[in-house]
Amino acid sequence: MKLIFLISALVSSIDASKILFVGFSNSKSHLGSMLPLAQALAKRGHDVTMYVEALRDLGELGGGVKHHYIKLQNTQDLSNNIFMDIVWNQEFLPEQMVPPYTMGSDALAEAVEQDSFWQIANQTWDLIVSDEVFTPTGWGLGMLHKKRDGTPHAAFSTTDTLQTLTTMLALSRHPTNAPSYYTPHHPFAWHTKYFMDRVSSVRHAAVEYISVGIIAEWVSRGAIELMGYSDFSWSKYYQDVSMVLIDYPDRFAWPVTQGSDTVYTGSFCRGSKPLPDDLERFVSDPASKGTIYLAFGSVVQWDFAPRRIVNAFVEAVNHLTDYRIIWSYKGKSLNVKSHVRLMEWAPQNDLLNHPKTKLFISHGGLKSVKEAICSETPVVYMPFFAEQTKSALVAKQLGFAEYLNKMTFGAQEVIDQSTKVLNDEQYQKNIIQIKSLFIDRIMDQLDEGVFWTEKVIRYRERPVFFRRAGMLLYWCQLLYLDAFALLLCALYLFSGK
């Protein structure tokens, strides 16, 4: 009883702060990346609100986190159709990064016309945390409140941090030191020692700088001006933020430079719950060698999938009769055998942690990658867009996954790759080792994120972290191009004599 009283006293002594999280419009996936930290802060007694512009109600968030959804009227059907074509049929390239920034800007332009937006914008907050990509609402609110009230604000990287944005942070992450965010499906290999791999990474970085660093900045600036803040730029934004919170694991991919103000929060594992009775009976069939779980996340829509892909998976899962297969699928009716169960939604974390689960067939989304590691489940990845192909490549290089090329695979390859992973214990041993590195820390990363967040709130306008002087430089100065230009001029003048 005394211990409970002491804990209650400690919790009540924490000053409750008003914290606003701003997510990418209409994205449950991005919201899900920010939610664990938001819930951890709410558990500490803070008043936490999640703001999202959405086409539909995204539901309750749980964990004491409030929500404030701005209902969008524009359906954006054309944008969705274009995006789904990229998802299923195309390579994901840096040239394709402008449309989602335009979508975020359009959502803000619609939101500022509603009183519900200004209810949030005109409140006083102790901290504003914004999704780092596609979310001009959050960037504008952060800079506006910092200018008006001295309110600190932070960026939250819900994906692997873009090369352009690390340049604004002066982290000196050379594009040839790690696989590109836009790792191609073919050839599915990358190493810094190979010249053409380095050329590809540099090309991606250069095009991304044009798409994100110039065009998306211009598009976002116009939208942010609608809320009363002018002259937005990436450089000013990153000089303004107090820290950058990052969900992508820091001990998973190739090593990259970090700053004291880059706070990683995503490398933690959460517990699981027992499966519903009917699902437990299905996967526990004594005739089954184990369970295969097939899921491609909340963004990928099966109604847009090419028929060849749907047919390939139907043929493959119908062939793997020795296993029970759970397929998270929302689409047209499929003809599958009795050992396959189709579910519009499945308890993914609980399924992966079930002792009968032997294989995860996944798209390689960030949360799915982390849940595979935490549950020690080997994977066959079929990535679609964003950092998914990079994550799948790294997982293959680390020895706990195999790969399917969405544009060329067939049913036999699904069967072969699945059988390869199921029959080789080394994949399991490798992912167990990766998990040990993933969670072996002095302090739980989520708790560390809470610690630094509360410290930024306490210090308010005083700096908490060291900032790199390179953030004050133009990109040509940061890359020493001015020094090279001076050297070339000197050489020219000298040779002229």
Enclosing H/E stretch for 21: strand 18-22
Which strands form 401-403's sheet, in the order they lie side by side?
Answer: 340-343, 324-328, 291-295, 357-362, 379-381, 401-403
Q: What is the pLDDT of residue 497?
A: 55
CA atoms of 125 and 62, how far apart (whole Å): 21
Q: What is the pLDDT of residue 496?
A: 66
Collapsing DSSP to helix, strand or coil, 231 comes out as: coil
Give yes or no for a contact between 222 and 105, defined as CB atoms under 8 angstroms apart: yes
DSSP code for 283: H
CB atoms within 10 A of CB 345: 10
Q: What is the pLDDT of residue 299?
A: 87
Domains of the chain: 15-267+447-466 (3.40.50.2000), 277-439 (3.40.50.2000)
Q: What is the pLDDT of residue 427?
A: 97
**Spatial CB neighbours of 454, under 8 Å, sequence gap ≥ 6:** 14, 17, 41, 44
* 3-class DSSP string for 173-223: CCHHHCCCCCCCCCCCCCCCCCHHHHHHHHHHHHHHHHHHHHHHHHHHHHH
Give pTM, 2 decimals.
0.91
- Phi first, then psi, for residue 134 (nearest 5°) are 65, 20
Q: What is the pLDDT of residue 474?
A: 80
Q: Which residues of the chain register pLDDT less than 70?
A: 1-14, 74-79, 496-497
Closest CA relative to residue 125, chosen from 68, 60, 61 = 68
For 220-276, what is each residue's pLDDT tens digit?
Answer: 999 999 999 998 999 999 999 999 999 999 888 888 889 999 999 999 998 899 999
CA atoms of 145 and 138, how far apart (whole Å): 11
**Spatial CB neighbours of 278, under 8 Å, sequence gap ≥ 6:** none
Q: What is the pLDDT of residue 289?
A: 96
CA atoms of 304 and 84, how far apart (whole Å): 6
